[in-house]
């Protein structure tokens, strides 16, 4: 069993127009910058994949990563909890011009909807957002004297994630707080594509220390010295 | 004399031939566990067990057991390289979330619409369900291995299950001591049968109509009496 | 912050009559034998705690652990998925005599109900058990053309769990497949009590390798050479 | 001249005094983060951040940042001994599951029934909610720190919120630039106020009735102008 591919280009080669794409990371931590940029390269060269729905906690920052996808015109819709950031101009401009749709989801509900998709749970109840405009149109129900909102699972065609160690069976670990949404998105997408900083042999990750078991990962590629999104943003890099 | 029915080992062998390279598979407690012994050379199959292990291997030598390293049948196991541990909710996320390619279970009865009864035969005694009701939902394919008939000769492939159900419309293929049968659109579709067994004789010990769709192959299994 | 206590007796001293007690482990792996036996000792000495509801995947094996609790007459009800085992005579006898109640829950639903309690999700939908007698009386609903059963969270007053490493803040790891239900139960009980094989200083468990963060653990006690339930059963030990 | 209102640092200091030893606390992005700087000596408080860290410490020296180690405000942090990482679903299990002792948030408005409005002031611009709607449910206590009035002098403690709600009936205590107010049974209950401020003057800048239940203590805060 060998799920590795040699290049990030190859890793993202079959993502289709109109796909729903989960992208791991929270702000710049754990963001799979090289996979995102490979997808932008493909779009620039071929015009595809476009009209994407992108699921991430944020909506891009500066001129790289998801912000660069938005600037390139590949993204039709963002599903996120916090599209604001120190430099969210790419999203803001597109949103205020009516060129991009937004589904705003409370952060914990976003995480739980993704986890539910991965776990085969089509719907669940949460107290979050009850009585607010983000629960409008949603079914509500009382349990034990408290009111809850019913939320649906959130699935994707593809997840792009970033790991630290990976083996060719797809087992992964994550670096520090770069874990965030990555393990959840790995479970919730039809095809999960991971970039890892170091490929190791099966067994190179202690079985007790595996965070994402390989069953959730379809394809992985080594990016030995990955770029850190926050660093790029602070350097003012535009992709 | 021609063999009139397959042994359990032979049924397990036949089921093992269909597991593709790279598959993630859960083998039910008991008889289905035997399938792993017949995994064809050169195929990489990753076995999942409900209690939170992916990528386990054969049983350890007697006396070498570590009883914190067991499968869902509470038997001692070993680990293959690339194994992983996780908790029960993650384990059943793999099951329910559609991440397993195949689950193979035993059966008391399988109905032509894919209903499965395999957890209890009546209301007496102590009921126990384990992970069976979860496994029948979620795995991309759910296969059953079973004798074709009960010990007293009654069909186990039936029109409608009379025993309490484990799941509705969930079984996609049945490997029996006499045949390989697919379930399609509410029907049993015969794929393979023992060469020496006339279709009429097979139909006679089957509780619902066996449909034929294309050729019926011979069910050919090696002599495994050494196993 | 120091959540450690010196003895198993002290650890279980305040569990009340009628409490709902989750007990970690699957078969003999990960079963907190010493905590269970300390609870039995207390019951034998004081008559308390009795009338317990015990939540575990199984219903005891041989003459130790949960089986010994049942034999001692402390358990009014078991919630489990698989009360059968190679030697489940203690439960069988009590059950068939009508002396103990049983709530039978499919294993994955049991895990998810416990996880839901820990995560503040009062109810969720699962395909498991749809159309079977274990879904009788439960609400069902269609999502995307498939039928699902609604299940409620499962909470407890106390969880008794078994870890490998633990620090005084309650961070835990587990040994091999001894993990099973332990991390879930730690989240779902009002009071979580852990026995660990080795107490280490905070930081002695790498932050990336913590399985149960200390926030879920209220009390912990070192049992340096814990007994293994399966070994005791095979030796025919009666507690 | 007597101080007529607390600075933000002083509000944060006051809130910090109420956090008990051993508490698990989430401090909202921005102003609430300042509370950690005033944690009283000898108290062990474990801070949680939504993006999956428990037990983080102060910001690193400039130039020492590791941008994979950040808090929910995307600021660089450090780790205290006994810290742990986990994914977002586990992080919000801690929040929603009632495992946090306290969440402290900012506010546009707090109503006397505990309703909180803190995520947007109208329908213009780009909305962003983050974890606020989750944090207000689940934490055992939800406190707010805020100026007592808006920049143009309007009450932030009101009968009914007019801005879009973050959560219903969720706030249990409010620390303002003028007072400490509890919310009990649909009422504001005044606990502390600046010594020099008459109750009538405080009531005048409060949008709903301030109830008194027992004594009103003086709100005493050190001069923190060095901070």
Cα D75 from Cα D86, distance rounded (Å): 18
- Give me the residues paired with residue D64 across strands: none
Cα D193 from Cα D178, distance rounded (Å): 6
**Mean pLDDT value of segment A81-107:** 94
Q: Which residues of A touch B (CB under 8 A)?
A: 1, 115, 117-121, 167-169, 171, 187, 201-203, 205, 207-208, 210, 213-216
Report the neighbours of C using a cutoff of 3 or more CB pairs below 8 angstroms: A, B, D
CA distance C198 to chain B (A): 16
The backbone torsions φ and ψ at residue B145, rounded to the nearest 5 degrees and listed phi first, read -115, 135
* pLDDT given at position B38: 96
Q: Do A208 and B85 touch (CB under 8 A)?
A: yes
Q: Do A214 and B84 touch (CB under 8 A)?
A: yes
Q: Is residue C37 part of a domain?
A: yes
Tokens of A183: 């393990």
pTM (2 decimals)? 0.98
SS3 percent helix, strand, coil of chain A, rounded to 5, is 30, 30, 40
CA distance A209 to chain B (A): 8
Q: Is residue A118 part of a domain?
A: no
Q: Report the chain D residue with the minimal C-alpha distance to residue A129.
A: D133
Maximum Cα–Cα distance across chain A: 57
| pLDDT of A177 strictly over 90 | yes
* Residue B166 forms contact with C (CB below 8 Å): yes
* pLDDT given at position D90: 98
Test the D interface: residue of C115, C119, C159, C212 with most D CBs within 10 Å: C119
**Mean pLDDT value of segment A205-215:** 98
* pLDDT given at position B1: 46
Cβ pair C6, C221 in contact under 8 A:
yes
What is the band of B190 on the pLDDT scale with cuts at 50, 70, 90?
very high
* Residue D94 forms contact with C (CB below 8 Å): yes
* D50: annotated active-site residue: yes
Q: Do C167 and D96 touch (CB under 8 A)?
A: no
Whole-number percent of chain A with pLDDT over 90: 97
The answer to whether chain D touches chain C by having 3 or more C-beta pairs less than 8 angstroms apart is yes
The answer to whether chain D touches chain B by having 3 or more C-beta pairs less than 8 angstroms apart is no
CA distance B9 to chain C (A): 23
What is the band of B88 on the pLDDT scale with cuts at 50, 70, 90?
very high
End-to-end CA distance of chain A: 35
| pLDDT of B124 strictly over 80 | no
Which residues in chain B have their CB less than 8 angstroms from residue C172's CB? none
Q: Where are the alpha helices (DSSP H) in chain A?
A: 8-11, 33-46, 65-72, 89-96, 107-119, 182-188, 229-234
Q: Which residues of A touch C (CB under 8 A)?
A: 112, 116, 119-127, 141, 143-144, 146, 148, 152, 173-176, 179, 207-209
pLDDT digits (tens, 9 = 90+) for C42-71: 999 999 999 999 999 999 999 999 999 999
Q: Is residue A59 part of a domain?
A: yes
Q: Do C1 and D44 touch (CB under 8 A)?
A: yes
| pLDDT of B2 strictly over 70 | no
Test the C interface: residue of A115, A144, A183, A208 with most C CBs within 10 Å: A208
Q: Do D100 and C187 touch (CB under 8 A)?
A: no
* Residue B94 forms contact with A (CB below 8 Å): yes
- Angle of the D88-96 helix axis to the C107-119 helix axis, nearest 10: 70
**Mean pLDDT value of segment A159-185:** 98
Q: Report the chain D residue with the minimal C-alpha distance to residue C215.
A: D99
**Whose CA is closest to B140, among B71, B94, B83, B84?**
B94
Which CATH number characterizes residue A63's domain? 3.40.1080.10
* pLDDT given at position C124: 98
Average pLDDT, chain B: 95
* pLDDT given at position B218: 97
Residues spanned by the domain of A30: 8-105+154-233
pLDDT digits (tens, 9 = 90+) for A84-96: 877 889 999 999 9
Cα A159 from Cα B96, distance rounded (Å): 19
**Mean pLDDT value of segment D201-218:** 96
Whole-number percent of chain C with pLDDT over 70: 100
What is the band of D74 on the pLDDT scale with cuts at 50, 70, 90?
very high
Cα A44 from Cα A51, distance rounded (Å): 13
Q: Do B84 and A210 touch (CB under 8 A)?
A: yes
D46-49/D53-57 β-pairing: antiparallel
* pLDDT given at position B226: 67
pLDDT digits (tens, 9 = 90+) for A10-31: 999 999 999 999 999 998 999 9
Which residues in chain B have their CB less than 8 angstroms from residue A118's CB? 93, 97
Which residues in chain C have their CB less than 8 angstroms from residue A123's CB? 124-125, 141, 143, 148
| pLDDT of D27 strictly over 50 | yes
| pLDDT of C188 strictly over 90 | yes
Whole-number percent of chain D with pLDDT over 70: 98
pLDDT digits (tens, 9 = 90+) for D83-137: 999 999 999 999 999 999 999 999 999 999 999 999 988 777 899 999 999 999 9
Cα C210 from Cα A185, distance rounded (Å): 21
Test the D interface: residue of A119, A132, A197 with most D CBs within 10 Å: A132
* pLDDT given at position C67: 97
Which residues in chain C have their CB less than 8 angstroms from residue D137's CB? 120
Q: Do D55 and C169 touch (CB under 8 A)?
A: yes
Tokens of A12: 């993202």
Report the neighbours of A using a cutoff of 3 or more CB pairs below 8 angstroms: B, C, D
Look up the CATH superfamily of B8-218.
Answer: Glutaconate Coenzyme A-transferase (3.40.1080.10)
Which residues in chain A have their CB less than 8 angstroms from residue B78's CB? none
CA distance C168 to chain D (A): 9
Please state which of the ranges A62-71, A82-91, C111-120 shows the lowest mean pLDDT.
Answer: A82-91
pLDDT digits (tens, 9 = 90+) for C78-92: 999 999 877 889 999
A128 vs D68, D85, D134: nearest CB = D134
Cα D184 from Cα D24, distance rounded (Å): 23
Report the neighbours of D using a cutoff of 3 or more CB pairs below 8 angstroms: A, C
* Residue D171 forms contact with A (CB below 8 Å): no
Delimit the domains of chain D by residue range: 8-218
Q: Which of D50, D62, D159, D192 does the annotation list as catalytic? A: D50
* pLDDT given at position C93: 95
| pLDDT of A237 strictly over 50 | yes
- Total number of domains constituting chain A: 1
Test the D interface: residue of A113, A118, A128 with most D CBs within 10 Å: A128
Average pLDDT, chain D: 95
ipTM value > 0.90 = yes
DSSP A2-29: --B-S-HHHHTTTPPTT-EEEE--BTTB
Which of B118-132, D14-28, D110-124 reaches the highest mean pLDDT?
Answer: D14-28
What is the band of D226 on the pLDDT scale with cuts at 50, 70, 90?
low
Cβ pair C113, C89 in contact under 8 A:
no
Q: Which residues of C touch D (CB under 8 A)?
A: 1, 115, 117-121, 167-169, 171, 187, 201-203, 207-208, 210, 213-216
SS3 percent helix, strand, coil of chain B, rounded to 5, is 15, 30, 55
| pLDDT of B208 strictly over 80 | yes
pLDDT digits (tens, 9 = 90+) for C124-170: 999 999 999 999 999 999 999 999 999 999 999 999 999 999 999 99
Q: Do C29 and B51 touch (CB under 8 A)?
A: yes
* pLDDT given at position D138: 86
**Whose CA is closest to B107, among B73, B71, B151, B143?**
B143
DSSP at A232: H
Q: Is residue C119 part of a domain?
A: no
**Mean pLDDT value of segment D176-191:** 98
pLDDT digits (tens, 9 = 90+) for B30-47: 999 999 999 999 999 999
């Amino acid at each position: 069993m060998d799920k590795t591919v040699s290049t990030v280009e190859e890793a993202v080669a079959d993502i289709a127009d109109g796909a729903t794409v989960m992208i791991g990371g929270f702000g710049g931590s754990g963001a799979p910058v090289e996979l995102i940029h490979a997808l932008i390269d493909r779009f620039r060269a071929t015009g595809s994949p476009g009209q994407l729905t992108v699921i991430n906690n944020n909506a891009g920052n500066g001129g790289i990563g998801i912000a660069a996808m938005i600037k390139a015109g590949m993204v039709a819709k963002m599903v996120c909890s916090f599209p604001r950031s120190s430099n969210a101009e790419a999203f803001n401009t597109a949103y205020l011009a009516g060129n991009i749709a937004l589904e705003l989801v409370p952060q914990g509900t976003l995480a739980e909807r993704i986890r539910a998709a991965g776990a085969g749970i089509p719907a669940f109840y949460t107290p979050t957002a009850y009585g607010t405009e983000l629960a409008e149109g949603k079914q509500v129900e009382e349990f034990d004297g408290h009111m809850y909102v019913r939320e649906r699972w959130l699935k994707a065609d593809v997840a792009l994630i970033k790991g630290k160690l990976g083996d060719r069976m797809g087992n992964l670990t994550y670096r520090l707080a770069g874990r965030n949404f990555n393990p959840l998105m790995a479970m919730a997408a039809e095809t999960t594509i991971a970039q890892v900083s170091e490929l190791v042999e099966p067994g190179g990750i202690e079985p007790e220390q595996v965070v994402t078991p390989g069953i959730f990962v379809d394809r992985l590629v080594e990016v030995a010295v990955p770029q850190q999104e926050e660093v790029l943003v602070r350097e003012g890099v535009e992709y | 004399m021609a063999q009139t029915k397959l042994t359990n080992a032979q049924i397990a062998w036949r089921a093992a031939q269909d597991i593709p390279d790279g598959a993630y598979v859960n083998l039910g407690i008991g008889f289905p566990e035997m399938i792993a012994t017949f995994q064809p050379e050169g195929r990489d199959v990753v076995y999942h067990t409900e209690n939170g292990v992916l990528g386990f291997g054969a049983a350890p030598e007697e006396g070498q057991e570590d009883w914190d390293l067991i499968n869902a049948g509470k038997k001692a196991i070993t680990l293959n390289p690339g194994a992983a541990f996780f908790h029960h909710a993650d384990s059943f996320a793999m099951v329910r979330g559609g991440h397993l390619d195949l689950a193979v279970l035993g059966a008391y009865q399988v109905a032509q619409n894919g209903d499965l009864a395999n957890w209890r035969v009546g209301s007496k005694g102590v009921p126990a369900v384990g992970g069976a009701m979860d496994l029948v939902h979620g795995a991309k394919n759910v296969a059953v291995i079973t004798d074709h008939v009960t010990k007293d000769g009654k069909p186990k492939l039936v029109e409608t299950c009379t025993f309490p159900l484990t799941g509705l419309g969930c079984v996609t293929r049945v490997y029996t001591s006499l045949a390989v049968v697919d379930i399609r659109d509410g029907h049993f579709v015969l794929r393979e049968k023992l060469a020496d067994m006339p279709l009429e004789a097979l139909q006679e010990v089957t509780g619902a109509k066996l449909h034929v769709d294309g050729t019926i192959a011979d069910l050919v299994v090696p002599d495994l009496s050494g196993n």
